[in-house]
Amino acid sequence: MNTKDSNQDEFEQYRLELAQAVDVVDKNLQAEKENRKYIDFSSYPLEQLKKEVRRVVQEVTGIHEMAEIELSVPPPHIPGDFALGGFGLAKQLRENPNVLANKIAKGIGEDQTIFIEKASVVGAFVNLEVRQKIFYQNILANIFELGDHYGESNVNAGLVALIDYSAPNIAKPLGVGHLRSTIIGQALAKIYHATGYSVIRDNHLGDWGTQFGSLIYAYQQWGDEKKVAENPIKELKNLYVQFHYFAEEHPEVKDKARELFARLEKKDPKLVALWKRFRDLSIKDFERIYHRLGIKFDTNIGESYFVEQADRIVDEYLAKGLARKDEASAAVVVDQMGGIPSFLLRKQDGSSLYLTRDLATLRFRIKTFQPDVILYVVGNEQSLNFQQLFELSRRAGYLPDNVTAKHIGFGMVLRDGKKMSTRQGTVIELEDLMSQSVQKSKEILLQKNPDLDPGELEKISEIVGIGAIVYNDLHQSRMQNISFDWEKMLDFESKSAVYLQYSYVRINSMLKKFVEVYGQINFNNLAKQLFSFTNRSEFDLARKLALFPEAVLRAQQANSPHLICVYLEELSQLFNAFYGEISILKTEDKQLRESRLALSNGVALVIKKGLALLSIAVPEKM
């Protein structure tokens, strides 16, 4: 075989690898369709309660096509366990909210309900007092019946979501900018799955573009094969930077780089071979980080795969009259559409663009996977790109109305209150950030517990250090900018991953003590046990546990993992109140003692599950 053929095989080989990955995804989707067992959302105690309320509201108002009933937790000074706000309904019926609330309360009073003891009215609110014993029993039994599936549901069963996240650019280090996409995308993938979606995790690698012309030029001029093999990302980045410095003095090399890229686009075998090497080495490097974050992608189809299709799509847009050739430059342009300013679809020299490769990718995804939803987890600065992408795809009929395409934007990562800049050397590399976090965690853990065995300390500080970074990103609305404040990120007292991990560990060690004092207890039997409680703080805690499935669903519907963080922080606070007030180990009555243990166990289970949905692990001790 001559080199030309073997190199062409290389691109073919890459196409083949991708085709195989696509096959696997298809098979997995199929298998999931046939085998996955879902938890019926309406079987959760809170949903059953809502159903009772809904039934009465329907009877009283005569409205049968009604949106979901929303129950909130009233503030402490209001008697009642849940509240129903009647403003929306009153508006719809053009009725006085207080009058309507009274009608509903009366209706509830006259109805045969399993969970509701009493309804009363304050203003526009109907306050519900539930039959606490029954409700409490149902909540705890439900949690132990479902175990680590508690919180999952079938709301979106049968639907497919493709999530485009991480998407770093090869031959460059994974920076903290892509870290946000990686963390948010991963959490969304888990949360979507928990609500019933089948999820395709697609890493749309930035593996094409003019920068590869520059990189290849630099490599051919100054590259050292051995160095690149040893430390690929670092060396490639250095070469890239070197190119830019050199180009400042010798602008003519920019043309050379453009020429090289144009040759790469035409699949010049020698250049393809180099490019493929950069690609493979980069993926290997990224995978080290993904592994630490517990992430596995289903596909790594990069932009490079879509170059030819992008070209064809541009021709189709021309034919459909959705784009036009610019007389003067021969570039292809789309004129202003609605609020979107005019933009380019093909460059003068004929090479493809980020946007056109995205157009082809979108079309490919829809044809190949038939997703119901496609999420693009990419920084806010690309919002115009996605408006163009969606609008143009819809107009051409490539994005059908029944498919939702959504840009999941997010704020910037700041350092000392400012945006980071490669030029000023203020960019933090992800692996440095991770080792810093792990190192700091280690110091803090050692302070708290100097007797920790060194091997154990390694493991725990990895979990705590990585968890701190992930949680720091997710615990506020994603639209906000984030920064790294180690004191807050590793604060054992509040609003951090370690605070939640520590609550979990504390419950665990309490369980151990319990067993030492009272002997083994069979948690598998818990679902069948009768539970009791005496204090309000116990009931409040159980009620909070009952709200978890709804919190997961809301996080999915709003594409807001931070809602789960808010939930978990509130849960931990309630647990601490309960734990400060009641000594489980000193509870005399056996049934009450075991009920309290079960309640704590339920909290531990939900903390672990909630963190797992954010892709954060928990250590078993600390």
Could you list the residues that contact ligand ARG (CB under 6 A)?
164, 167, 169, 204, 206, 358, 361, 376, 378
Q: Which uninterrupted H or E stretch holds 71?
A: strand 71-72
Do 606 and 151 form a contact (C-beta atoms < 8 A)?
yes
| Closer residue to ligand ARG, CB minimum distance, 52 or 358 | 358
Other C-beta atoms closer than 10 Å to the C-beta of 439 total: 11
State the sign of the Cα–Cα–Cα–Cα dihedral 555, 556, 558, 559. Answer: positive
- 289 close to 26: Cβ distance less than 8 angstroms: no
CB of 410 to ligand ARG, least distance (A): 12
For residues 265 and 358, which CB has a smaller minimum distance to ligand ARG in the complex? 358
| Closest CB to ligand ARG among residues 50, 407 | 407
Q: How many CA atoms lie within 13 A of 383 on its CB side?
A: 7
Beta-strand pair 116-122/373-377: unpaired
Asked if 202 contacts 298 with a C-beta cutoff of 8 angstroms, the reply is yes
DSSP secondary-structure letter at 292? Answer: H
* Of 603, 615, 521, 522, nearest in space to 570 by CA: 603
Which CB atom, from 61 or from 169, has the smaller least distance to ligand ARG? 169
The span from the CA of 101 to the CA of 94, in Å, is 13
Cβ 305 vs Cβ 210: under 8 Å: no
Residues 6+ apart with CB under 8 A from 277: none
Nearer to ligand ARG, 167 or 603 (CB): 167
Tell me the residue ranges of DSSP E strands in 387-481. 404-408, 414-415, 418-419
Q: Give me the least distance between CB of 407 and ligand ARG, in Å please.
A: 9
414 bridge partner residues: 419
Least distance CB 355 / ligand ARG (angstroms) = 8
What's the closest the beta carbon of residue 406 comes to ligand ARG, in angstroms?
A: 12
Sign of CA dihedral 353, 355, 356, 361: positive
Which residue's beta carbon is nearest to the bound ligand ARG? 206
Taking the complex as a whole, how short is the minimal distance between the CB of residue 365 and ligand ARG, in angstroms? Answer: 9
- Residue 201, helix vs strand vs coil: strand
Minimum CB–partner distance for residue 21 and ligand ARG (Å): 17
How does DSSP classify residue 415? Answer: E
Nearest distance from C-beta of residue 178 to ligand ARG, angstroms? 6
Pairing of strands 82-85, 125-130: antiparallel
Nearest distance from residue 383's CB to ligand ARG, in Å?
12
Closer residue to ligand ARG in complex, CB, 298/358: 358
* Residue 468: burial class (beta carbons within 10 Å; 0-12, 13-18, 19+): buried
Instruction: Indicate the residue among 169 and 496 with the shorter CB distance to ligand ARG.
Output: 169
167 vs 323 by CB, closer to ligand ARG: 167
- For ligand ARG, which is the closer residue by CB, 289 or 500? 289
Minimal distance in Å, beta carbon 179 to ligand ARG? 12
